[in-house]
């Protein structure tokens, strides 16, 4: 069964970036609000992506609650490269981490697809 992708839509620009990444990967994406994400009947074949840097305390709490659902979806938390403390907290909770610049690659892995070019480096070798 193919995994389904959801984006927690609490920031329109981020949600559009996720939609663009999903289109490049050839997968549909569904929007879900933060409150609905807490009560949705998740299963392990679903992937939820959210921007963790937007209201970090609320997003960490959302990740924590999603990760501990039974069953739980795969949770992809997107941050900046330099947000080390936030990234460590999310990793301890069990979230899959993605930087904004590597979101396509991480989403492809989380979805279990081999997207052509998804694992290609974003910068040419020096």
Q: Give the pLDDT of residue 55.
A: 87
Q: Give the pLDDT of residue 57.
A: 92
Q: How many whole angstroms from its chain centre is CA 68?
A: 16
* 95 closest CA partner among 113, 74, 110: 74
* 25 closest CA partner among 49, 9, 43: 49
Q: 60 near 93, Cβ under 8 Å? A: yes
Q: Give the pLDDT of residue 10.
A: 84
Can you give the pTM of this predicted structure? 0.86
Q: Give the pLDDT of residue 54.
A: 81
Q: Kindly state the DSSP code that residue 17 receives in the 8-state scheme.
A: H
Give the pLDDT means over successive 10-residue stretches in the chain (126 positions).
Answer: 85 93 94 95 95 90 95 95 91 94 93 62 39
Domains of the chain: 4-111 (3.40.50.2300)
Q: Give the pLDDT of residue 117.
A: 44
Close Cβ partners of 68 (under 8 Å, ≥ 6 residues apart): none
Burial grade of 29 (CB within 10 A; 0-12, 13-18, 19 or more) = buried
Phi/psi zone of residue 55: left (φ > 0), alpha (ψ -120 to 50 degrees), beta?
A: left
Q: Which two tokens stand for residue 6?
A: 């959801």
């Amino acid at each position: 069964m193919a995994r389904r992708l959801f984006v927690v839509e609490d920031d329109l620009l981020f949600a559009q970036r996720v939609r663009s990444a999903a289109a490049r990967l050839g997968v549909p994406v569904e929007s879900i609000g933060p409150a609905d994400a807490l009560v949705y009947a998740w299963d392990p074949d679903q992937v939820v992506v959210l921007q963790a840097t937007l209201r970090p305390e609320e997003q960490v709490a959302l990740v924590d609650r999603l990760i501990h659902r039974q069953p739980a979806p795969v949770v992809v938390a997107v941050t900046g490269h330099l947000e080390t403390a936030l990234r460590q907290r999310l990793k301890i909770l069990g979230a899959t981490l993605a930087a904004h610049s590597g979101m396509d690659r991480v989403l492809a892995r989380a979805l279990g697809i081999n997207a052509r070019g998804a694992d290609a480096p974003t910068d040419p070798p020096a």
